[in-house]
Amino acid sequence: MRLLSLFAITASTLPIAVYAAEPHSYAQPDQVQITHLDLDLTIDFPQQQLDGQATLKLNWKNPKAPSLVLDTRDLKIASIESVSADGKTAPLKYALASRDKQLGSKLTIATPTHPSQVRIVYTTVPEASGLQWLTPSQTADKKLPFMFSQSESIHARSWVPLQDSPAIRFTYTAHVTAPKDVRVAMSAINDAHHPLDGKFDFDQPHPIPSYLLAIAAGDLAVKETGPRSAVYAEPSVVGKAAHEFEDTEKMIATAEALYGPYRWGRYDILVLPPSFPYGGMENPNMTFATPTVLVGDKSLVSLVSHELAHSWSGNLVTAASWRDIWLNEGVTTYVQGRITEALYGKGLADEESLLSARALEKDIGAMPANAQKLAPDPRGVGADDSLSAVAYDKGSWFLRTLEQRFGRDTFDTYLKSYFNHFAFQSITTEQMLAYMKPNLIEKYPGKMSWSEVQDWVYGTGIPKDAPLPDSPHFDAIDKERSAFLGDTLTADKLDAKGWNTQEWMYFLDRLPDVAPLPKIKELDAAWHLTGTPNAEIGMRWYTHAIDSGDKDVWSAAAEHMTRIGRLYLTLPLYKAFAKTPDGLAYAEQVYAKAKAGYHPLTQQAVESIFASAKTADK
């Protein structure tokens, strides 16, 4: 990967688009770039496929470019034709390369006349990595089938042929045909009052990268939560979701006061079935969210703060390659904390920052040196593997350090100017730093040296002077945990009756990796953690109990694993079970029952755990 030199460019000379060497895409944006996508899709639930027609508007950069190269994965191509400015069409020759396990198949289209548009007719396959198809029995209300996409990191290519790189931004329109009674939603402006007549049209006028292309369809009801926000969910879930997310408009206004106007029009939230593999996905105009945050007390709504914050960091200013993904996730996690603090208090924001910081401190030393860097050297990892705790938690920790050094008012002004300067662009780490150097570091000398900045971005580990917030509640929990483990405090005497989700998470996170089995039994007898409906607490509790050898929790853990497909909340249990032969055999039985309801990404991750465990035993 060829990096831009910090000393060869300045903010004033930055081009509108800089194409990072992207090892996860076949696209050649220096030759030709997609500027607009026009989609025509038919949703076929019985066949679990999309019948698609993608018309790509092109900007030819190289007058001698012989072809248009696109990313695809498992698409069945029916025809490809050129479309001239006057609408005339002509067939084009093309070659679809053999399938690469990570990248899919390179689609090379011969384009000697450089048409202004190319149209591709295709169908997806039921196993498309970016789509999940659910039968009615796998949904909450059991009435209609459901389908949703997850395009990040490089899965858009499994349902649309395109240049699947975050460096390339395009506008899009879409016409979608679906069965009547099914509501379709996309990462564009959605009409909450649209009739369920089987015909839906969408327009995304802002240029977005391909990983933010999203679609969902199913039995969806809608409840408005503000003048520019609504919740979409299955009818039995929508009321609970609307209550949990009733502060959405306040969140938008808070973020606007900090970083400038919300530029996307509406901000809606779609609560997906439990098989959704992530906590949330920041699709423009329509965040996709996991139902595991619906715990009734708003203790996990920072997920919405996070996905909303992406409307500035990630969707507005986008990492140009997956190597630079901390520009999306680290900045967003920092902004999330600011929104949470403004609405729910500094105590909760500090607790969440401490949770992530302590977890990173515990884990980062075991990572390969290159994986500890915010901007790593070129490495042979998949695009999905770039989304690590380093990008989120070390990145946000760096920004909290900048805020402390320069003062909140100064840093807010800087960050707002950064969002404005790079709005609707995809940038590299080096572009970000080239803007930071004159506009923050040199503008306010003596606050932070350039070598310190470079150490945060390119160094391993966490700098020794990295600031941590104080949390009196966490300090008290540390003392109680120590007393409990040291046999000077029994489990039933823990002052835990009023603990919120974050405080239980902190207590469990800092138990020994393998806690004594009697302590696990005592804790469960006092606080009835087995069977908890709170998935964040459940994931931590079951992992500890399994590691400690408590077979009494296995059936409840299996229920958790079957009910929830979110990677972060499910994989730790599979990993814990896979540490012993009996546990591995049990986990395989659980997976056999749960597999059909898991997203393809979850299936792949679980099967990888099994394969690693069996290899280690040999």
Residue 15: is its pLDDT beyond 50? no
pLDDT band at 488 (very low <50, low <70, confident <90, very high): very high
pLDDT, tens digit, 9 for 90 and up, residues 160-192 = 999 999 999 999 999 999 999 999 999 999 999
**Strand positions, DSSP E, 61-211:** 67-72, 76-83, 89-91, 94-96, 105-110, 117-123, 131-134, 146-149, 169-177, 183-186, 199-209
pLDDT, tens digit, 9 for 90 and up, residues 273-314 = 999 999 999 999 999 999 999 999 898 899 999 999 999 999
Residue 127 amino acid letter? E
Q: Does 6 fall in a domain? A: no
User: What pLDDT is attached to residue 541?
Assistant: 98
Query: Could you say which of 247, 276, 307 is where a domain stops?
Result: 307
Q: Higher-confidence residue: 9 or 205?
A: 205
Q: Does 465 fall in a domain? A: no
Query: Could you say which of 412, 428, 458 is where a domain stops?
Result: 458
227: domain CATH number?
A: 3.30.2010.30
User: What pLDDT is attached to residue 384?
Assistant: 80
User: What pLDDT is attached to residue 4?
Assistant: 29
Residue 346: is its pLDDT beyond 80? yes
Based on the fold, state whether residues 545 and 588 are members of the same structural domain: yes
Q: Does 315 fall in a domain? A: no
Domain hosting 295: range is: 220-307
User: What pLDDT is attached to residue 387?
Assistant: 83
* Rounded distance between C-alpha atoms, residue 36 and residue 572, angstroms: 41
Based on the fold, state whether residues 225 and 183 are members of the same structural domain: no
Q: Does 576 fall in a domain? A: yes
Which tokens hold the place of 504?
């239980």
Catalytically annotated residue among 19, 122, 334, 392? 392
504: domain CATH number?
A: 1.25.40.320
CA angle 321-326-331, nearest 5°? 125
pLDDT, tens digit, 9 for 90 and up, residues 556-588 = 999 999 999 999 999 999 999 999 999 999 999
Contact 206, 198 (CB under 8 A): no
Based on the fold, state whether residues 183 and 236 are members of the same structural domain: no
Residue 618: is its pLDDT beyond 80? no
**Strand positions, DSSP E, 421-571:** 425-427
Based on the fold, state whether residues 582 and 529 are members of the same structural domain: yes
pLDDT band at 85 (very low <50, low <70, confident <90, very high): confident
Residue 262: is its pLDDT beyond 80? yes
Q: Does 463 fall in a domain? A: no
Based on the fold, state whether residues 164 and 36 are members of the same structural domain: yes
Based on the fold, state whether residues 205 and 225 are members of the same structural domain: no
358: domain CATH number?
A: 1.10.390.10
| Assessment of whether the complete model's pTM goes beyond 0.85 | yes
pLDDT band at 20 (very low <50, low <70, confident <90, very high): low
Tell me the mean pLDDT in the region 196-211.
98
% of the chain beyond a pLDDT of 70: 96
% of the chain beyond a pLDDT of 90: 93
Based on the fold, state whether residues 409 and 504 are members of the same structural domain: no
Catalytically annotated residue among 22, 234, 244, 307? 307
Name, in order, each residue with C-beta under 8 angstroms of 574's C-beta and a sequence gap of 6 or more: 561, 587, 591, 606, 609, 610
Which tokens hold the place of 517?
């089995």
User: What pLDDT is attached to residue 380?
Assistant: 73
Contact 480, 498 (CB under 8 A): no
User: What pLDDT is attached to residue 22?
Assistant: 80
Q: Does 10 fall in a domain? A: no
Based on the fold, state whether residues 409 and 526 are members of the same structural domain: no
Residue 493: is its pLDDT beyond 60? yes
User: What pLDDT is attached to residue 21?
Assistant: 64
User: What pLDDT is attached to residue 475?
Assistant: 96
Is 392 one of the catalytic residues? yes
* Rounded distance between C-alpha atoms, residue 618 and residue 614, angstroms: 7
Three-state DSSP state, 369:
helix
Residue 6: is its pLDDT beyond 80? no
User: What pLDDT is attached to residue 211?
Assistant: 98
Residue 14: is its pLDDT beyond 50? no
Based on the fold, state whether residues 69 and 107 are members of the same structural domain: yes
User: What pLDDT is attached to residue 7?
Assistant: 26
Query: Could you say which of 153, 186, 218 is where a domain stops?
Result: 218
Q: Does 18 fall in a domain? A: no
Based on the fold, state whether residues 236 and 203 are members of the same structural domain: no
Cα four-point dihedral sign 257, 263, 265, 267: negative
Tell me the mean pLDDT in the region 403-429.
98
* Rounded distance between C-alpha atoms, residue 90 and residue 82, angstroms: 5
pLDDT, tens digit, 9 for 90 and up, residues 21-35 = 689 999 999 999 999
Residue 471: is its pLDDT beyond 60? yes
pLDDT, tens digit, 9 for 90 and up, residues 28-82 = 999 999 999 999 999 999 999 999 999 999 999 999 999 999 999 999 999 999 9
Residue 18: is its pLDDT beyond 60? no
> Considering the chain, what is the average pLDDT of its residues?
94
Based on the fold, state whether residues 132 and 232 are members of the same structural domain: no
* Rounded distance between C-alpha atoms, residue 602 and residue 276, angstroms: 9
Q: Does 582 fall in a domain? A: yes
Please count the structural domains in the chain.
Answer: 4
Based on the fold, state whether residues 84 and 211 are members of the same structural domain: yes
Distances from the Cα of 573 to the Cα of 522, 542, 600, angstroms: 21, 7, 18
Residue 507: is its pLDDT beyond 60? yes
32: domain CATH number?
A: 2.60.40.1730
Tell me the mean pLDDT in the region 513-534.
97
pLDDT, tens digit, 9 for 90 and up, residues 357-389 = 999 999 999 999 999 999 999 877 778 887 899
